[in-house]
């Protein structure tokens, strides 16, 4: 729970606030960009939500915050309950953002794909009854895809609850040693209908991307969208091998997709030609 005594001075006066336990993970800024901005090393409420949609977005951010750093001096329980029921939050079609980001994954995003051959969880949110119940209503979980060692969070609990197969690369398997499916080597490969697993070593030795229906690319910490400068970005710190990371980004130029859905950083939808141009521009900048 947020502590009003630790309320950051950068917050605009009003109901919602961020306290000093914030880890600047970006979840609130993605969910309620009209209200939250990065100020120094924290997020803060720079515009107090006024309309019902803005307030509902702010409650989504409050719920998703992995460290419970967002508070409200006065709670509208009707809108809070509605925001809670919004998760998993639809992105497009049968692809959803889970919400309830986990501090164990440094606040990383996780995603859910509802599929007739079995549903997929991409990285792990906190293990909470509202999400468990929502996954049950949508048909459970068959596969849990782990993009890399940092974002496994409560994957083991979800796997036990749903009897799901956890997928991770051999090089990062120490983070989930009893995973049911181990990806070997560096070659991309199809995995069931509509899915393609692409090894992208760089951030970690075993980083993976998941391409769904040649439209949605789940990138973990390998690649994300920077909304301030409107371009793709990739890590420059906490990198296992910078040369390998550059080669992995170059490899993505071989694929056509429209969405980048990242563990950290912004997500974006662009026409295929613009997305390919954005990847090419990133490769050139990294050179």
Range of the domain at 280: 87-286
Q: Give 158-190 pLDDT, tens digit per residue.
A: 999 999 999 999 999 999 999 999 999 999 999
- Which residue, 78, 58, 50, is CA-closest to 18? 58
Shared domain for 135 and 102, answered yes or no, is yes
DSSP state of 98: -
> 1 pLDDT exceeds 90?
no
Residues 6+ apart with CB under 8 A from 28: 18, 35, 36, 43, 61, 62, 64, 65, 70
Q: What is the 3-state secondary structure (H, E, C) of 110-143?
A: CEEECCCCCCEEECCCCCCHHHHHHHHHCCCCCE
Cis peptide before 88 (omega within 30 of 0): yes
Q: What is the CATH classification number for the domain harbouring 109?
A: 3.60.15.10
Shared domain for 34 and 127, answered yes or no, is no
Backbone angles phi and psi of 139, in degrees to 5? 110, 10
> 285 pLDDT exceeds 90?
yes
Mean pLDDT across the chain, nearest whole number? 97
Shared domain for 80 and 92, answered yes or no, is no
Question: What is the distance between the alpha carbons of residues 190 and 205, in angstroms, rounded to a whole number?
Answer: 20
Read off the tokens for 228: 């301030």
Percent of the chain with pLDDT over 70: 100
Domain C-terminal end among 59, 84, 109: 84
Question: What is the distance between the alpha carbons of residues 45 and 54, in angstroms, rounded to a whole number?
Answer: 12
> 287 pLDDT exceeds 90?
no
Shared domain for 216 and 105, answered yes or no, is yes
Shared domain for 32 and 113, answered yes or no, is no
Shared domain for 65 and 102, answered yes or no, is no
Element at 281 (helix H, strand E)? helix 272-286
Question: What is the distance between the alpha carbons of residues 45 and 101, in angstroms, rounded to a whole number?
Answer: 19
The total number of structural domains in the chain stands at 2
State the average pLDDT over residues 189-214. Answer: 97
pLDDT band for position 80 (cuts 50, 70, 90): very high
Predicted model pTM:
0.96
Shared domain for 71 and 186, answered yes or no, is no
Q: What is the CATH classification number for the domain harbouring 64?
A: 3.30.70.20
Shared domain for 212 and 278, answered yes or no, is yes
Shared domain for 275 and 136, answered yes or no, is yes
Q: Give 18-36 pLDDT, tens digit per residue.
A: 999 999 999 999 999 999 9
State the average pLDDT over residues 253-258. Answer: 96
Q: Give 95-133 pLDDT, tens digit per residue.
A: 999 999 999 999 999 999 999 999 999 999 999 999 999
């Amino acid at each position: 729970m947020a502590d009003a005594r630790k309320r950051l001075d950068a917050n605009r006066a009003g109901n919602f606030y961020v306290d000093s336990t914030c880890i600047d993970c970006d979840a609130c800024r993605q969910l309620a960009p009209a209200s939250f901005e990065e100020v120094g090393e924290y997020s803060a409420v720079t515009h107090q939500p006024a309309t019902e949609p803005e307030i509902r977005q702010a409650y989504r951010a409050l719920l998703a915050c992995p460290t419970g750093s967002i508070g409200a001096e006065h709670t509208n329980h009707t809108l809070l309950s509605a925001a809670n029921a919004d998760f998993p939050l639809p992105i497009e079609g049968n692809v959803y953002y889970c919400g309830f980001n986990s501090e164990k994954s440094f606040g990383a995003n996780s995603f859910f794909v509802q599929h007739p051959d079995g549903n997929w969880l991409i990285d792990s949110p906190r293990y909470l009854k509202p999400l468990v119940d929502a996954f049950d209503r949508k048909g459970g979980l068959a596969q849990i895809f782990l993009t890399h060692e940092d974002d496994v969070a409560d994957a083991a609990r979800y796997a036990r609850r749903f009897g799901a197969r956890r997928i991770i690369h051999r090089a990062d398997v120490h983070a989930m040693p009893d995973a049911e499916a181990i990806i070997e080597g560096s070659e991309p490969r199809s995995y069931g209908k509509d899915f393609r697993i692409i090894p992208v070593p760089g951030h970690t030795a075993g980083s993976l991307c998941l391409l769904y229906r040649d439209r949605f690319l789940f990138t973990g910490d390998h690649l994300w969208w920077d909304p301030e400068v409107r371009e793709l970005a990739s890590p420059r710190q906490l990198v296992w091998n910078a040369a390998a990371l550059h080669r992995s980004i170059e490899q993505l130029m071989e694929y056509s997709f429209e969405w980048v859905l990242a563990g950290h950083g912004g997500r974006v939808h662009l026409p295929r030609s613009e997305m390919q141009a954005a990847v090419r521009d990133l490769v050139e900048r990294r050179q």
